[in-house]
Amino acid sequence: MSTERYYITTAISYPNGRPHIGHAYELIATDALARFQRLDGKDVYFLTGTDEHGIKMFQTARKEGITPRELADRNAAEFQRMAAALNSSNNDFIRTSEERHYRASQAIWKAMAANGDIYKDSYAGWYSVRDEAYYGEDETEVREDGVRYGPQGTPVEWVEEESYFFRLSNYQDRLLKFYDENPGFIGPNERRNEIVSFVNSGLKDLSVSRTTFDWGIPVPGDEKHVMYVWVDALTNYLTGIGYPDEGADLRGFWPADVHVIGKDITRFHAVYWPAFLMSAGIELPKRVFGHGFVFNRGEKMSKSVGNVIDPFSLVEHYGLDQLRYFLLREVPFGQDGNYSHEAIVNRTNADLANDLGNLAQRSLSMIAKNCEGRVPAKGDLQPEDQAILGMATEALATSRKAMENQAIHQALASVFAVVAEANRYFAGQEPWALRKTDPARMETVLWTTAETVRRVAIMCQPYMPESSAKLLDLLAVPAEARRFADVGDSAALQSGQELPAPQGVFPRYVEPAATA
């Protein structure tokens, strides 16, 4: 039986500035989804990268007095550094200025042209440089400041130039039929409804090339034009798995299982991208998931507003797994969420330091003291022991269901419900009192608790890889027995196994002393 393949991607970020918490959020969430499927036995390919062309990059570079390539090199390195700092398990990092990507973008362009979907005309209309998006006049409005804005609240400018067009209007019915037949294609539902109503309202042909700047991929056969940045950007998902060199199979990873993106770019992924693929005769991805935005205490972060939070300093200040846990647990994936110092401290102190950390620390130090530092003897399990162990196994089933729909917060909630119950179990069984009255029962309770921690730690790996590994080390769980297939009884802790000295895994956040 061959291993099931799973292909997951993030959006590729514009390296016109340094990465911010929104980028970190998307990468962390996608990493958790990728790790989850790997632990569940799939052959996962996880792609992320940078989107380096377009007028926004061109203009930013000009302002800074450097070339777009210099700007891209500088910031792409920052995005790569962020991926490492966040412990992202991406298999590849694509930069759209790479040669392999030129080949892929020109190949898809040629396929669309061969299908009769590309023609030359001239474009006159509104363009948002910040969104790198064309908008219909009816989607824009002039505000009190006299400036015209697009639907995402970014300024638009009038553009008039010779341009190639893609016959998007030909795809309206096919797209609607596709959404209808594939109700899971766009998630969450709000995003799906927005897209269906946008396509229902009519699609105009899309301008897909520019001539007023040259920072882009040349249009095959007409080098005066560079491709519209979104044509090349979307194609990164194919480049990453070897298009066009690998042939139709694309290493068995196409169609992609899910493109994880922010809600602001759903239209590009759920309308333009499937239309391009239909035109080029390539299968469509299975799902596009538009997550929400992370706000700094309710305010939208952006480079131009200047309230960007640096992900590197957050990691340094709160700890990586604390940050990962907070973002994934606190914000229902798909909705907008808020970040604040109080929220991260409260959430991580309560759930990680108090609940999970203390459960592990208390049970393991009792074991160290009373069981000679070995896995305690497992006597006959009582119904309450079986109940907590069963709850852990059920959390895995719940997590699997939740993760199929990218409901990361639900998966995590099911695991932490086990932690809360295990704390009640531990307190209720009072193993410290059993030490004198019934030492055998004490050992069974400690075994059950440690075994529950083992199950929980395996399930926590997608979200907090490093801390979960530390917990599993404390339980002497071998590296090859940390898959989801090992959550159940078959890989349970063996009584008598020697354990390392217990150590705290989740330190409590303490406010730095105020300086006088």
Closest CA to 414 of 423, 403, 429, 405: 403
Question: Shortest Cβ distance from residue 209 to ligand ME8 (Å)?
Answer: 17
501: tokens are 């000295």
Should residue 217 be labelled a site residue for ligand ME8 when binding is judged by CB under 6 A? no
Strand (E) or helix (H) holding 236:
helix 229-239
State which residue, 203 or 294, has the beta carbon closest to ligand ME8: 294
Q: Cβ distance 231 to 105 under 8 Å?
A: yes
Should residue 265 be labelled a site residue for ligand ME8 when binding is judged by CB under 6 A? yes
Should residue 264 be labelled a site residue for ligand ME8 when binding is judged by CB under 6 A? yes
Q: Residues 8, 22, 80, 275: which binds ligand ME8 (CB under 6 A)?
A: 22
Should residue 57 be labelled a site residue for ligand ME8 when binding is judged by CB under 6 A? no
Strands 5-9 and 43-50: parallel
Backbone angles phi, psi at 188, to 5 degrees: -70, 180
State which residue, 17 or 504, has the beta carbon closest to ligand ME8: 17
State which residue, 262 or 502, has the beta carbon closest to ligand ME8: 262
Q: Could you give the CA distance from residue 419 to residue 413 in angstroms, rounded to a whole number? A: 10
Interacting span for ligand ME8 (CB under 6 A) from 229-237, 309-317, 380-388, 476-484: 229-237
Q: Which residue is nearest to ligand ME8 (CB)?
A: 262
Should residue 262 be labelled a site residue for ligand ME8 when binding is judged by CB under 6 A? yes
Question: Shortest Cβ distance from residue 344 to ligand ME8 (Å)?
Answer: 16
Question: Shortest Cβ distance from residue 165 to ligand ME8 (Å)?
Answer: 20
Contacts of 282 (CB under 8 A, 6+ apart): 108, 111, 238, 254
- Can the peptide bond before residue 274 be classed as cis, meaning omega within 30 degrees of 0? no
In sequence order, what are the beta bridge partners of 226? Answer: 210, 218
CA-CA distances (angstroms) from residue 293 to 20, 263, 299, 381, 512? 12, 7, 10, 46, 29
* CA 187 to chain CA centroid, nearest Å: 14
Question: Shortest Cβ distance from residue 265 to ligand ME8 (Å)?
Answer: 5
Q: Could you give the CA distance from residue 157 to residue 147 in angstroms, rounded to a whole number? A: 9
Q: Residues 6, 14, 58, 416: which binds ligand ME8 (CB under 6 A)?
A: 14
Should residue 33 be labelled a site residue for ligand ME8 when binding is judged by CB under 6 A? no
State which residue, 103 or 400, has the beta carbon closest to ligand ME8: 103
Helix (H, G, I), strand (E, B) or coil at 114: helix
Burial group, residue 274, by CB count within 10 angstroms (0-12, 13-18, 19+): buried
Q: Residues 6, 7, 26, 484: which binds ligand ME8 (CB under 6 A)?
A: 26
Contacts of 464 (CB under 8 A, 6+ apart): 321, 324, 325
In sequence order, what are the beta bridge partners of 295? Answer: 300, 338
Should residue 12 be labelled a site residue for ligand ME8 when binding is judged by CB under 6 A? yes
Should residue 61 be labelled a site residue for ligand ME8 when binding is judged by CB under 6 A? no
Question: Shortest Cβ distance from residue 493 to ligand ME8 (Å)?
Answer: 40
Q: Cβ distance 460 to 396 under 8 Å?
A: no
Q: Count residues near ligand ME8 (CB under 6 A).
A: 19
Residues between 458 and 487 that touch ligand ME8 (CB under 6 A): none
Question: Shortest Cβ distance from residue 289 to ligand ME8 (Å)?
Answer: 10
State which residue, 315 or 442, has the beta carbon closest to ligand ME8: 315
Should residue 506 be labelled a site residue for ligand ME8 when binding is judged by CB under 6 A? no
Residues between 232 and 251 that touch ligand ME8 (CB under 6 A): 233-234, 236
Interacting span for ligand ME8 (CB under 6 A) from 9-17, 137-145, 150-158, 398-406: 9-17
Closest CA to 390 of 414, 362, 418: 418
Interacting span for ligand ME8 (CB under 6 A) from 143-151, 205-213, 258-266, 504-512: 258-266
CA-CA distances (angstroms) from residue 435 to 107, 380, 429, 443, 499? 72, 17, 11, 8, 20
Per-residue contact string for residues 275-294; x = within reach of ligand ME8 by CB under 6 A: ------------------xx
State which residue, 239 or 468, has the beta carbon closest to ligand ME8: 239
- Can the peptide bond before residue 218 be classed as cis, meaning omega within 30 degrees of 0? no
Should residue 227 be labelled a site residue for ligand ME8 when binding is judged by CB under 6 A? no
Sheet with 294-296, edge to edge strand ranges: 299-300, 294-296, 337-339
Should residue 51 be labelled a site residue for ligand ME8 when binding is judged by CB under 6 A? yes
Residues between 300 and 319 that touch ligand ME8 (CB under 6 A): 301
Q: Applying CB under 6 A, which residues contact ligand ME8?
A: 11-14, 22-23, 25-26, 51, 233-234, 236, 261-262, 264-265, 293-294, 301
